[in-house]
């Protein structure tokens, strides 16, 4: 597919894209001095495609190894190519592990991190005796049998608006540790335990620390009611470990 | 884990293993002059583990890029390590994309290709507008919408004992092209169309040619009843293309 790079005197427009990627090979979303990021790959491919210096703004700056089915990125361009055609043209220039799922023009002042949104993450635990090579990059293999009903009971204390200091990586600088978890669903899909969390904002490593804590609950090391005590302690050292990145996928960002 | 390699004067025994792998990085099951095979990786790791020259025999010699959740391999050893412990010890020495799912001792004359068995394969088609990077190595991305009910009707003609010459790679040397398909189930899982085929033997590329033909049926290029005509023609050129390896997984081999 040939795309014309000629400027046709058209004014600047802002384009929003839905971005899916396997995070295994990347140092995360955000540009880093050491390692290739998803953001950098998008900037390079878009700049080549559109003949401009493009810098995308991501809604969620996912960590190294974390996957996305629906992250959001926006960028500004003067190019004449219609916003909804950019996904198809850009996919021709992207590596196999990043695929744009759609694109469209949005308001010039739309910013994906300064708007109301609901994010849904899934954390997948492969709870079997042996790892599955086909799912190894997309699930956290954990061979100690976990009790899903205990995990559900523990998770119930996290739903709602709380100070999540205990579930945030140390030294994170934010104005407030209060976040609102709208729902946590925990269910089994064959041998996988899926923790689906929906909220309107998450602290650094929050979903992975929740997953790591609920695994401790599921194996009987923490009582379900202990999750309430951990929350109230506002102390990261009281919660469980940060579960590995590979089990985490940003499923969807709903703009509200 | 330390495994003793000392011979304890124990007689030769035959061990059967259930083998799972992501086939993406391999030239297939069978040892080839150009490229790394699953068989070669197993031979090397087992020979190092057991201190003997081990050669495995596989039940199904899957092609390059084809995956397995339950292939079967057997080998003979004089080592003292119990058959059911070999899976755990061997997994420590295997790359991430090959995982033994269990092992046990079997009769000395058991041969995985000279016994009655039922094999189940799944062929997965990702039928969406955009590819999914997370599933790209495990599904065949096909963006033309497919009609599952037409595919089911077409598949119905293949069930039972037939001469499958039309569904076999050219120049395959076998005594007979007659095989028995026990069942074909076609169903949707989210945006994936799964073709699940169970039979007691398959010709070279047979499942992939069936998948390629049913895709033609699903998009309306071949009438469902055309599958019966293709079968009766006993001519490979009448069937659809060989669908890509990445969508195919050997799910299970049931010894009967």
What does the pLDDT read at residue B3?
A: 43
Distance CA B86, CA B102 (A): 8
Say if the Cβ atoms of A99 and B132 lie within 8 Å. yes
Say if the Cβ atoms of A99 and B21 lie within 8 Å. no
DSSP E strand boundaries for chain B = 13-21, 57-58, 67-77, 98-106, 117-126, 140-141, 160-163, 178-189, 192-199, 248-255
A211 Cβ partners below 8 Å, 6+ apart?
A123, A125, A140, A195, A243, A247, A248
Residue B180, both tokens: 């028995």
- A residues 122..151 contacting B (CB < 8 A): 129-134, 136, 138
Q: Which residue has the higher pLDDT, A198 or B113?
A: A198
Distance from CA of B76 to the nearest CA of A (A): 23
- Number of Cβ atoms within 10 Å of the Cβ of A121: 24
All residue ranges of chain A with pLDDT < 70 are 1-10
Task: Give me the residue label for tokens 């669903």.
Answer: A185
What band does B223 get if pLDDT is binned at 50, 70 and 90? Answer: very high
Distance CA A187, CA A93 (A): 37
Say if the Cβ atoms of A96 and B22 lie within 8 Å. no
Runs of H (alpha helix) within B94-164: 148-156
Tell me the average pLDDT of chain B: 94
- Interface predicted TM-score of the whole assembly (ipTM), two decimals: 0.86
Say if the Cβ atoms of B67 and A134 lie within 8 Å. yes
What does the pLDDT read at residue A115?
A: 85
Of B201, B5, B222, B213, nearest in space to B119 by CA: B201
Indicate if the pLDDT at residue B6 is higher than 80: no
Residues B194-213 as b/e (b if ≥16 CB within 10 A, e otherwise) read bbebbbebbbbbbbbbbbbb
Cβ contacts of A99 on chain B, cutoff 8 Å: 130-133, 136
Please state the rounded mean pLDDT for residues B104-122.
93
DSSP symbols for A23-77: -TTSSBSS--SSS--HHHHHHHHHHHHHTS----EES--PBTT-EEEEEEEEEEE
Q: Which residues of A are catalytic?
A: 63
Question: Within an 8 Å CB–CB cutoff, is residue B99 touching chain A?
Answer: yes
What does the pLDDT read at residue B256?
A: 81
- Number of Cβ atoms within 10 Å of the Cβ of A181: 22
Say if the Cβ atoms of A22 and B136 lie within 8 Å. yes
Residue B96, both tokens: 């991430």
Identify which of B20, B98, B134 has the shortest CB distance to residue A69. Answer: B134
Span A203-238, pLDDT tens digits: 999 999 999 999 999 999 999 999 999 999 999 999
Catalytic residue check, B96: no
DSSP E strand boundaries for B62-191 = 67-77, 98-106, 117-126, 140-141, 160-163, 178-189
B63, B96, B97, B163: the catalytic one is B63
What does the pLDDT read at residue B10?
A: 56
What does the pLDDT read at residue B2?
A: 39
What does pTM read for this prediction?
0.90
Of A123, A121, A124, A141, nearest in space to A132 by CA: A141
Please state the rounded mean pLDDT for residues B106-121.
93
CA angle centred on B240, ends B237 and B241, rounded to 5°: 90
């Amino acid at each position: 597919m040939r795309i014309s790079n000629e400027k046709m005197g058209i004014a600047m427009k802002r384009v929003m894209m839905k971005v899916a990627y396997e995070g295994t090979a990347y140092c995360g979303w955000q540009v880093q001095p050491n390692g290739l990021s998803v953001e950098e790959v998008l900037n390079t491919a878009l700049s080549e495609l559109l003949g401009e210096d493009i810098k995308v703004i991501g809604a969620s700056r996912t960590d190294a190894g974390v996957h996305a089915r629906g992250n959001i990125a926006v960028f500004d361009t003067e190019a004449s190519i219609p916003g909804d055609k950019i996904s198809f043209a850009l996919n021709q220039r992207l590596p196999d592990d990043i695929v744009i799922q759609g694109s469209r023009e949005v308001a010039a002042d739309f910013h994906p991190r300064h708007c109301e949104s609901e994010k849904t993450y899934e954390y997948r635990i492969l709870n079997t005796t042996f790892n599955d090579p086909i799912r190894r990059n997309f699930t956290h293999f954990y061979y100690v049998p976990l009790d899903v009903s205990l995990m559900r009971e523990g998770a119930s204390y996290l739903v709602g608006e709380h100070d999540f200091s205990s579930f945030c990586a140390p030294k994170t600088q934010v104005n407030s540790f209060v976040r609102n978890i709208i729902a946590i669903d925990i269910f089994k899909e064959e041998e996988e335990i899926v923790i689906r969390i929906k909220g309107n904002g998450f602290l650094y490593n929050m979903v992975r620390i929740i997953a790591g804590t609920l695994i401790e609950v599921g194996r009987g090391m923490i009582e379900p009611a202990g999750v309430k005590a951990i929350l109230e302690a506002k102390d990261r050292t009281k919660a469980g470990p940060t579960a590995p990145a590979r089990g985490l996928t940003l499923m969807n960002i709903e703009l509200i």
